[in-house]
């Protein structure tokens, strides 16, 4: 039997990778415009990192991690997300000591979650994300959301919705937590096993449950917004004011809790409203994490960020019919006629490439007609034709395939001729 990719993973063939390249180029540019610098962290980390940051009672840590023991008996995990690693690196390298604060970082790379594969949900997916660490200003919350929206807008997407909530500070969360426990206690037995287990430990997770989503008690659950203390409510107001100032539309949804434990204050998601996008409409998610850096052994410094997967971005582009075009045609194709000319062809191709000219030649012993066809298929503007007679005279025929014009050119001068164009 042939071997296929593991379930929940996929090969990206050149007709897809070319779209990725267009996207990555635009995102790299956008990161520069917003003054974020790239960070690359390992694909696996110590398991404890995710237990302590993403949270022991989350679905990600309880059910979805690819965890293994290495030959030295250490428990390692393929990263399920990027924030924990960035926060770890920030603490490990004492980046908080650098004068450039907040530290604004971005990353692109594969993440792994053992989830049930479906459209928009794979076991290996590629996240693009940013983290701004070292500022507790509501202005940077707004900047991160503006960046998140811009990622999609710069690619031409329009049917987007920014959904916003506040999870408050520690005190507000504690008050809400107690209210949630009181609310769900009477119906505990009607909830799924996970929810029953989480009720005392982390009741916020109940609001994120996929099984009990339609339970009556979910609809009447206490809203976090009613439990925000004065500073948290004020912080939320200021975040909204910054968004208003930038004229970025949003809707507040007090049921948005996110699936990771490190969030405080701002939490947000961007949804696609495009018809035919599919059942999972969340394109990206993020929020503020005020205790995370400290939890990982760093100072009491807060951060905010967001991430999305390239896979869901591509789905949104498809749903909205946005084409990403990249010119992959070659400038030139070298056509050799006869055995001896093949050596000259290799030489010419090599020389032209050194001059940055996109060029290719035949490796299948095709006849002249076949080589012209290949040149056409590759979109070549010029063909360089070299036969025995040209070889003897140290020249080649350079033909502009678009106009039909041709010239005899000294072999050493072909690059100049093509660069100048005729």
Judged by the rule CB under 6 A, the positions of this chain that interact with ligand HAM are: 81-83, 113, 115, 120-122, 125, 127, 129, 131, 259-260, 282-287, 305-309, 311-312
Name the residue nearer to ligand HAM (CB basis): 284 or 361: 284
Instruction: Please tell me whether 258 is known to bind a ligand.
Output: yes
**How would you class 406 by CB atoms within 10 Å of its CB: exposed for 0-12, middle for 13-18, buried for 19 or more?**
middle
Instruction: Please tell me whether 66 is known to bind a ligand.
Output: no
Name the residue nearer to ligand HAM (CB basis): 152 or 382: 152
Closest to 207 measured CA to CA, from 258, 263, 173? 258
Helix/strand/coil for 76: strand
- Rounded to a whole number of angstroms, the minimum distance from the CB of residue 364 to ligand HAM is 39
Instruction: Please tell me whether 417 is known to bind a ligand.
Output: no
Instruction: Please tell me whether 263 is known to bind a ligand.
Output: yes
**Could you count the other beta carbons within 10 Å of the beta carbon of residue 214?**
7
- Rounded to a whole number of angstroms, the minimum distance from the CB of residue 303 to ligand HAM is 8
- Rounded to a whole number of angstroms, the minimum distance from the CB of residue 257 to ligand HAM is 11
Alpha-carbon span 160 to 150, nearest angstrom: 11
| Phi, psi (degrees; rounded to nearest 5) at 275 | -65, 140
- Rounded to a whole number of angstroms, the minimum distance from the CB of residue 85 to ligand HAM is 9
* C-beta of residue 360 within 8 angstroms of C-beta of residue 351: no
Omega cis (within 30) before 102: yes
Q: Please report how the helices 138-153 and 230-245 are oriented relative to each other, as an axis angle in degrees rounded to 10.
A: 40
Alpha-carbon span 296 to 94, nearest angstrom: 12
**Could you count the other beta carbons within 10 Å of the beta carbon of residue 372?**
18
- Rounded to a whole number of angstroms, the minimum distance from the CB of residue 307 to ligand HAM is 4
Name the residue nearer to ligand HAM (CB basis): 308 or 382: 308
Name the residue nearer to ligand HAM (CB basis): 278 or 379: 278
- Rounded to a whole number of angstroms, the minimum distance from the CB of residue 212 to ligand HAM is 20
Instruction: Please tell me whether 131 is known to bind a ligand.
Output: yes
Instruction: Please tell me whether 170 is known to bind a ligand.
Output: no
How far CA 364 is from CA of 332, 371, 374, in Å, comes to 18, 9, 11
**Closest chain position to ligand HAM (CB):** 305
User: Residue 322 contacts by C-beta under 8 Å, 6 or more apart in sequence?
Assistant: 155, 156, 157
Radius of gyration of the chain (CA): 28
Instruction: Please tell me whether 79 is known to bind a ligand.
Output: no
Alpha-carbon span 363 to 58, nearest angstrom: 55
Mode of pairing for the β-strands spanning 160-166 and 251-252: parallel
- Rounded to a whole number of angstroms, the minimum distance from the CB of residue 121 to ligand HAM is 4
Name the residue nearer to ligand HAM (CB basis): 153 or 346: 153
* C-beta of residue 335 within 8 angstroms of C-beta of residue 371: yes
Instruction: Please tell me whether 262 is known to bind a ligand.
Output: yes
Containing H/E element for 79?
none
- Rounded to a whole number of angstroms, the minimum distance from the CB of residue 263 to ligand HAM is 7
- Binding-site residues for L-histidine sit at 81-83, 113, 127, 131, 258, 262-263
């Amino acid at each position: 039997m042939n071997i296929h990719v593991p379930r929940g993973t996929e090969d990206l063939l050149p007709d897809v990778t070319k779209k990725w390249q267009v996207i990555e180029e635009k995102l790299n540019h956008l990161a520069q415009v917003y003054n974020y610098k790239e960070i690359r962290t390992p694909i696996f980390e110590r398991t404890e990192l995710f237990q302590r940051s993403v949270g022991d009672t989350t679905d990600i840590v309880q059910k979805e991690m690819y965890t293994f023991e290495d030959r030295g008996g250490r428990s390692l995990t393929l990263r399920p997300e990027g924030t924990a690693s960035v926060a770890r690196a920030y603490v490990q390298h004492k980046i908080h000591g650098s004068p450039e604060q907040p530290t604004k970082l971005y990353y692109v790379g594969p993440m792994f979650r053992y989830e049930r594969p479906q459209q928009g949900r794979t076991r290996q997916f590629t996240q693009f994300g940013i983290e701004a660490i070292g500022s507790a200003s509501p202005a940077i919350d707004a900047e991160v959301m503006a960046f998140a929206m811009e990622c999609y807008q710069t690619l031409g997407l329009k049917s987007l919705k920014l959904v916003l909530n506040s999870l408050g500070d520690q005190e507000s969360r504690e008050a809400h937590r107690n209210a949630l426990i009181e609310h769900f206690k009477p119906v505990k037995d009607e909830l799924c096993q996970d929810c029953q287990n989480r009720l005392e430990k982390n009741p916020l997770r109940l609001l994120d449950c996929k099984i009990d989503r339609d339970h009556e008690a979910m609809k009447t659950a206490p809203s976090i917004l009613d439990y925000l203390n004065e500073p948290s409510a004020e912080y939320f107001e200021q975040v909204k004011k910054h968004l208003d100032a930038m004229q970025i539309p949003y809707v507040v949804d007090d049921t948005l809790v996110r699936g990771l434990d490190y969030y405080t204050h701002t939490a947000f998601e961007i949804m696609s409203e495009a018809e035919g996008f599919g059942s999972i409409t969340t394109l990206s998610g993020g929020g503020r994490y005020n205790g995370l850096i400290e939890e990982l052994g760093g100072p009491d410094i807060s951060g905010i960020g967001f991430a999305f997967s390239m896979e869901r971005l591509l789905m949104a582009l498809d749903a909205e019919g946005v084409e990403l075009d990249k010119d992959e045609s070659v400038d030139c194709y070298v056509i050799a006629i006869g055995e001896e000319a093949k050596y000259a062809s290799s030489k010419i191709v090599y020389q032209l490439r050194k001059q940055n000219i996109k060029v290719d030649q035949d490796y299948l012993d095709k006849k002249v007609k076949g080589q012209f066809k290949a040149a056409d298929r590759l979109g070549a503007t010029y063909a360089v034709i070299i036969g025995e007679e040209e070889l003897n005279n140290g020249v080649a025929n350079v033909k502009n395939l678009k106009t039909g014009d041709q010239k005899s050119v000294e072999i050493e001068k072909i690059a100049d001729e093509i660069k100048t164009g005729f």
